[in-house]
Structure 1
Amino acid sequence: MQHNTAACFLAFSHFYSANFFSQVMMPRRCLRLTVLCCAVLLAWNAQAQQSETPATEAAAAAPLKAEKPMQTVEVKGSGYDPRRDDTASKMVVGSEEILKYGDTNVTDVLKRLPGITVSGAAGRSGGEIRMRGLGSGYTQILLNGERAPAGFSLDTLSPDVIERIEILHAASAEYSTQSIAGTINVVLKKAVKTAQRDVKLGVGGGRDAFSSNGNLQLSDKDGIFSYSLAASFYRYDYHYENPKDRPALDLGYLPDGQQNLLRRITGTGDGRSEGINLSPRLNWAFADGDNLTAQFFLNGGRSDNRSHSRTDTLLGARPDYDTNDGTSGNHYVFGRTDLTWVRKLDGGAKLELGLRASATSNTADSHPLGYIDGVGLVLDRNVRVEASYSSLSSTGKYSTPWMPGHALSMGWDGTLSRREEERLQREQALPGGRPPVDSDEHFDADIKLLALYAQDEWDITPRWSMYAGVRWEGIDTRSAGDTFEAVQQRSSVWSPLLQTLWKLPDTKGDQVRLALTRTYKSPSTSNLIPRRSIATNNSQTEPDRVGNPNLKPELALGIDASYEHYWADSALLSARASARRIDGYTRQGLLFIDDRWVSTPINDGRANTQTLELEAKFPLRAVLAAPVPALDVRASISRNWSQVERVPGPDNRLDQQTPLSGNFGLDYKTPDGVLSTGGSFNFRTGGPVRITERQSAYTSPRRDLDLYAVWKFDAKNQLRVVVSNLLAQDFESNTSYTDASGTVARNGISTSSPQARATMEMKF
């Protein structure tokens, strides 16, 4: 069995790698047959190993059946729970929960967690990750405690290489305080406890998509040395079509309500994305307690897309192009190296030093074509963008129990990074078209970041602990290009932080938390650079985009309070309330410059946001005395409010904030452990939002229903089956602009379908 499994995996890996790196596209039907044959063979081998017992083994085992079975004694320890015992508010999601639904990207994992939402349509990969319903940089995303570089997306990260996900509702001095909404820290696998050799192969698909993925995990120890290797690949093919009976619409109305514009937009699209992840780790644990670790991460992939759209004008002015065709492609490579040395000192003190280097390369090509009825092809544009990002970071942390009951730590985080980008545009001169615009643009940006922090956590009494910290961050951004003057912006922020945990007297599991924080949001490099991105059909709802070098950081004062009740093993009820006051709020302004609509970010006064979250998780046996199945229940609901002071209401929400979201899930495992199954339902509301006095938007609600089942053949082989997006709801969005001349709006719709996925998981 082991030889057959390994041979099948190596054959499949060889097929995939040869296909990927040689860039020879195999027809989808052949790929499906190859992967399905591997999955069937692996399942058959696992079942055969379970059912075929040699006669000598059966004969030897027969006398044992008559013997008295050995008694089993189960010992449970309370252990350390960071969510319950840490003074700083933190929720930790382990690898078992991460892998439960066999997700192929991290965003699908995060959408099921309390208080987290993912924007976009159901059943589609990607989307913006949000805490408290806020995106656009308000939610901080970290990779191993460090901000991910520009151009890196969590969608390209396989859940199999993740050890845990940490959710920090209140800021911590140890991490960056660019976390107005909160922090999500994705920690890659590190610890090597026992030798491990795992292989996973999966296939999935639905009406409009097909995917395949594989994962290999290797780890072992030899004396003071240990190593681990995680490798994975994915491929995703998709096709979409705007329904002809419900097309996208461009609408226009005069001030008196009379309609003066009606366009129907239909189209299709298809494409493929594929990539690999490699995450090796080397570790030396010396006898004196010192530890040296080298961790590497490589992420590479490509995508190719084709699109077609047709605009039929029934009333009013026609667009610049009646028909748009286009192709686009993207190739990227991201690499990162972390070196960490931990030195044990006298008196329980510890020194941690880290050196990190990362590099990203991204090449994007696009080829839009525009047609006018009766004229023909009038736009033929080729654009290539080559971007690179590199950084070098140094971190240090010294921690010591400097007084009885106190745990003091202090440290630094310094980063030097550079971003370079070249954009080459060429257009053909065509009859009936506009004069061609050819351009060669280049810019580079140097970013320097330095952070210093100190924090102390102490136990005032056995039931009352306190956390106090302060962090200073300074950022210096300098950029220059051949189409704009050199830009430099410096900013620095002091962030005092205070958190406390009080375990209520005369109770076993009741406790309250309180946190006071000062956080901020720094402008992204792309928002600072005054380089214009051109829209094909320029309008109020599809404007050009340009950065603003005068942007300032947004500063926020926050308060968080929560109550937690633990009453049984793995049983929790909690309620959390929070509020943020944001000064220097950044929104997208819309201007009319040189006969074109241009969107640019601007600071615009103050905004306020409030959140109320309720969460419950418990085994059903903890609340019902009668014998019940071994069901684990989890549920959460979050309500968010916000107000932008300089935008008239109603619906003047911050950053199109999600007003209401929730999750409900059930998990069940049979007594013999052969079958595990469960389901998850999560939802989020949308509704209208007033972005500015003249701009408005609308998004429809989103509801996801996912089911999973894991059939365990034996200790080394199991099959995981998942059905996701069972509700297959359409997703609608709308943007509109209103001024003295009337209203212009665009309505869009995205369709989806249920997806099924099967993964064979083997240990050898």
Structure 2
Amino acid sequence: MKNKSQTKFGHSEKPPRMKLVCALLIGFSTHSQAQNPVSLMQPTQQVEVKAKSETENARRDASAKTIVANAELQRFGDTTITDAMKRVPGVIVSNGRIQLPGMGGQYTQILLDGEPLRGANIDHIPMLMIDRVEIYRLGSAEFSSAAIAGTINIILKKIPRDAQQQVKLSLSDAFAPAANLEWRASDKRDNLSYALSIAAGQNRNIFGAPRLSSVTMRDLNNDIVSEYDSRFVGTVKNKMLSINPEFQYKTAGGLSISSNSVIAFSRDQVGTDMNYEFSRQATFPIAYERDRFSDASQSANSNLKIGHRFLEDVRIDLTLGVSGNYSKISSHELHFTPTAAVDLERTMNRIRRRGGFNSTLKLSTPGFKNHDIVGGWNGSSQVDSDQRLSVDRKVNNSGISTITLDDQTTHSVVSRWAFFMQDDWRFQKTSTASMGLRWETVRVETEGNQLFAVKNVANVWSPIVQTLWQLNPENTDRLRLGVSRSYRAPSNFQLVNPRFKRVNNSIENPGYLANPNLRPELAWSMEAAYEHNGSDKWNYNLRSVVRKIDDLHRQDLSKIGDDWWRQFVNAGEALSKTVSMDTQFPLKRFMATAPELNLSFSVSKSWTTMSNLPKPDNRLTPISLTVNSNVDYTAKDFPLSLGASLRYRDGNPLLVNLSQRELHQAQTQLDMYGLWKFDKKTQLRLSIDNMLKRAYASGFEFYEREFITTRIDTQRPYQLVRLNFEHSF
């Protein structure tokens, strides 16, 4: 069975909001030009210089981190940070989630300027706002310890001193044309600097691609009991508007007040059709499903930061933030029998509200000789309320309808409080150590009209020790050693998501149950690394990370009565070991007569096991090997740059539980771009993602006492062509 499965893989009035945005654009642009018309003619090259300085600082910092500059993120003209990160060495983007090697995306913490992006989506942040990305594999005591695999910290640009404007228009086509527009303007008046960034787009998601699923059920004698195909066709339209105001006020006395906000509006409209074609024994009462789904969301995330230096050496930084999200979801489903009669009509209306606040207080001071000490606290509280009303109209064989109402409400409060202290100690002359301790408590209170009220409290002590040993005075060769404690708290979906039973319920199509008693995962991590950054421009790094996780979260699949249900439970422990290598150099380093080519290469290999499942497929993630190579060329005699990114990742079977195994196919992707600079302010960029346009298949195996069911999903391949026009003025 398993071997056989694996071989198959091979135009109108503008709405009020838009009028307001247009007015803001025109007014802001006019004001900026009137204030400083000369400075607008000056090109800005601030990003690359700043990022280079941050990279140099990271080489002297005991806290191990990798710096990815804005220029590298925007090479292929991506419109979201998630898409841009897929080409970064040592980073994987799978199913739209950013993750670090050795573990799934749920274990990687994503921060914005050191704070979780509460109430908003990271992909709503315009790329023009992002200065750089910092990747921490062990973390820092200043950040939340909810990062078992590591932390990705997105750093926003500081507001420039001079008036500037930038605009980027992106047109793309995969299954349907899409357009995105980004605009950013900034100015300064006396001690006040301010900026406004706006992004708007209309897209069609590639996950709406046609998909074919082939399902076969066999008995213990390997005889086919039932066999069918399900053909999925969907259209996913998305409209998005993001408004991002920023300001910063500084005084000669050292007081600094700044604020940044993300205000986003989005609407998803999804239409799906699922057709079941039974070639042997119709096992389901439903042969055709039609679903129309709408999700209108409004979100906001705002942080106010106040910093001041007093007593000469002591600096205090206070951050206050609020966030909120409102989503209105509705769907209408029709389910038909094989004779094309309506068997079930289901309507669902769901309203979800989320809101909260957060604060951080940090004191920084030099301690005794060669010590820099920072300490403080973090606090946040978020309330999540969910109300869902589902109405089912069931038609029996006599044509009589039965109405069933299902009204579910859930409410949860998640509070996090933490105290931390960190000492950065420079000993000898060339080596440093960072010793941090963080105490963090997570309190989760949940209740609902169909749930028992539950209160969970978890306290975690997180020591973090990292050392940097410079092996020569030039600091070209370094050795890093570190150990840390971290955790992952259950998500709201896992704790209080309303119960949902799927039509055509079966072992491969189960319903979902929440588990309000789910405990956090706890982990110890150890890292060792060797780094080389020579004056010969040849850079390379060798890293190894070992992680041990307790109270692992896994999906349990069980049959209750006649229905199958999926639920997250705590199940044993897991071990993850990862070894990686990356290098970057200009080809001229080895060939003096070579063209202007910059090359980079990275490879990562992971081994993972889980104690509660039998070998050999008791893995944490199906991806164990990733290879990433990049090449960039800059012409000498004309303003042309070219580049390509080739990525490979393997696919391995993964045992989810004793009743379910995932099947995955290896993937190879090639992206290419070309950039033409008309002058220092204007450029045109063409990129093509997934040049190879290979189909991708995945699947499942399900095990019952007497049957084994295999499902293979094949998605139509796509190729994304994107054209960007970028201008600064």
TM-score between both structures, scaled by the size of structure 1? 0.86
2:297 maps to 1:332? yes
Alignment partner, residue 263 of structure 2: 298
2-side partners of 1:310 and 1:631: how far apart? 50
Contact 2:328–2:352 (CA<8 Å) still a contact in 1?
A: yes
1-side partners of 2:208 and 2:358: how far apart? 45
Change (3 A) 1:657 1:469: farther
Alignment partner, residue 4 of structure 1: none
Shift of 1:159: 2.2
Alignment partner, residue 59 of structure 1: none
Which of 328, 332, 352 aligns to 2:317? It is 352
Which of 725, 734, 745 aligns to 2:710? It is 745
Change (3 A) 1:751 1:144: same
2:590 maps to 1:633? no
Q: Secondary structure at the match of 2:294?
A: strand
Contact 2:408–2:498 (CA<8 Å) still a contact in 1?
A: no
2-side partners of 1:436 and 1:82: how far apart? 66
* Matched AA of 1:145: G
1:558-637 → structure 2 map (5 Å cutoff): 558-568=525-535, 571-624=538-591, 626-637=592-603
Shift of 1:191: 3.3
Q: Secondary structure at the match of 1:190?
A: coil
Alignment partner, residue 467 of structure 2: 500
1:211-230 → structure 2 map (5 Å cutoff): 211-230=178-197
1-side partners of 2:422 and 2:638: how far apart? 44
Alignment partner, residue 173 of structure 2: 205
Shift of 1:219: 0.8
1:410-429 → structure 2 map (5 Å cutoff): 410-429=375-394
Alignment partner, residue 53 of structure 1: none
Moved more, 510-519 or 181-190: 181-190
* Matched AA of 1:146: E
Contact 1:520–1:556 (CA<8 Å) still a contact in 2?
A: yes
1-side partners of 2:206 and 2:435: how far apart? 52
Change (3 A) 1:321 1:689: same
Which of 132, 154, 164 aligns to 1:186? It is 154
Change (3 A) 1:463 1:472: same
Shift of 1:312: 1.1
2:214 maps to 1:249? yes
Shift of 1:333: 1.2
Shift of 1:609: 0.5
1-side partners of 2:452 and 2:520: how far apart? 21
Alignment partner, residue 22 of structure 2: none
For residues 369-418 of structure 1, the C-alpha deviation after alignment (integer angstroms, 9 at most, x for no partner) is 10001251111111111101111111110000111211100011111211
Alignment partner, residue 34 of structure 1: none
Alignment partner, residue 4 of structure 2: none
Shift of 1:233: 0.8
Q: Secondary structure at the match of 2:261?
A: strand
For residues 213-257 of structure 1, the C-alpha deviation after alignment (integer angstroms, 9 at most, x for no partner) is 1111101122211111111111113588877xx931111111121
For residues 347-387 of structure 1, the C-alpha deviation after alignment (integer angstroms, 9 at most, x for no partner) is 32210011000111111111121000125111111111110
Contact 1:698–1:735 (CA<8 Å) still a contact in 2?
A: yes
Which of 142, 147, 151 aligns to 1:174? It is 142
Contact 2:118–2:301 (CA<8 Å) still a contact in 1?
A: no
Q: Secondary structure at the match of 1:527?
A: helix
Change (3 A) 1:281 1:363: same
Q: Secondary structure at the match of 1:643?
A: strand
Q: Secondary structure at the match of 1:651?
A: coil
Change (3 A) 1:468 1:508: closer
Change (3 A) 1:608 1:479: same
Contact 1:668–1:678 (CA<8 Å) still a contact in 2?
A: yes
Q: Secondary structure at the match of 1:470?
A: strand
Change (3 A) 1:551 1:19: same
* Matched AA of 2:261: F
For residues 253-273 of structure 1, the C-alpha deviation after alignment (integer angstroms, 9 at most, x for no partner) is 111211112101123211311
2-side partners of 1:489 and 1:340: how far apart? 31
Shift of 1:277: 1.4
* Matched AA of 2:369: P
2:250 maps to 1:285? yes
Alignment partner, residue 148 of structure 1: 117
Moved more, 380-389 or 368-377: 368-377
2-side partners of 1:233 and 1:76: how far apart? 28
Contact 2:286–2:504 (CA<8 Å) still a contact in 1?
A: yes
Alignment partner, residue 661 of structure 1: 626
Alignment partner, residue 538 of structure 1: 505
Which of 437, 441, 446 aligns to 1:470? It is 437
Alignment partner, residue 14 of structure 2: 18
Shift of 1:21: 5.6
Q: Secondary structure at the match of 1:486?
A: strand
For residues 570-625 of structure 1, the C-alpha deviation after alignment (integer angstroms, 9 at most, x for no partner) is 5310010010111111100011113110111111111101001110012222233x
1-side partners of 2:13 and 2:547: how far apart? 49
* Matched AA of 1:97: E
Alignment partner, residue 68 of structure 1: none
2-side partners of 1:440 and 1:195: how far apart? 54
For residues 416-473 of structure 1, the C-alpha deviation after alignment (integer angstroms, 9 at most, x for no partner) is 2111111011122424488443122212111211011000001011111100001011
Change (3 A) 1:87 1:16: farther
2-side partners of 1:602 and 1:16: how far apart? 50
Q: Secondary structure at the match of 2:144?
A: coil
Q: Secondary structure at the match of 2:221?
A: coil
RMSD between aligned residues: 2.3
Shift of 1:318: 2.2
Shift of 1:346: 2.4
Which of 91, 97, 102 aligns to 2:72? It is 97
Identity score, percent: 29
Change (3 A) 1:135 1:240: closer
Contact 1:454–1:471 (CA<8 Å) still a contact in 2?
A: yes
1-side partners of 2:636 and 2:710: how far apart? 57
Alignment partner, residue 61 of structure 2: 86
2:103 maps to 1:134? yes
1-side partners of 2:536 and 2:638: how far apart? 19
2-side partners of 1:482 and 1:684: how far apart? 45
1:58-73 → structure 2 map (5 Å cutoff): none
2-side partners of 1:254 and 1:305: how far apart? 37
Contact 1:105–1:159 (CA<8 Å) still a contact in 2?
A: yes
Shift of 1:712: 0.9
Change (3 A) 1:341 1:688: same
Change (3 A) 1:360 1:190: farther
Shift of 1:295: 1.5
Contact 1:99–1:160 (CA<8 Å) still a contact in 2?
A: no
Contact 2:159–2:194 (CA<8 Å) still a contact in 1?
A: no
* Matched AA of 2:643: G
Change (3 A) 1:512 1:618: same
Change (3 A) 1:173 1:657: farther
TM-score between both structures, scaled by the size of structure 2? 0.90
Contact 2:102–2:608 (CA<8 Å) still a contact in 1?
A: no
* Matched AA of 2:539: L
2-side partners of 1:544 and 1:506: how far apart? 61
Shift of 1:82: 3.3
Contact 1:369–1:380 (CA<8 Å) still a contact in 2?
A: yes
Task: Report how many residues are paired.
Answer: 687
Gaps of 5+ in 1: 1-14, 24-74, 121-126
2-side partners of 1:375 and 1:512: how far apart? 68
For residues 184-228 of structure 1, the C-alpha deviation after alignment (integer angstroms, 9 at most, x for no partner) is 11223333243211111121113x121101111101122211111
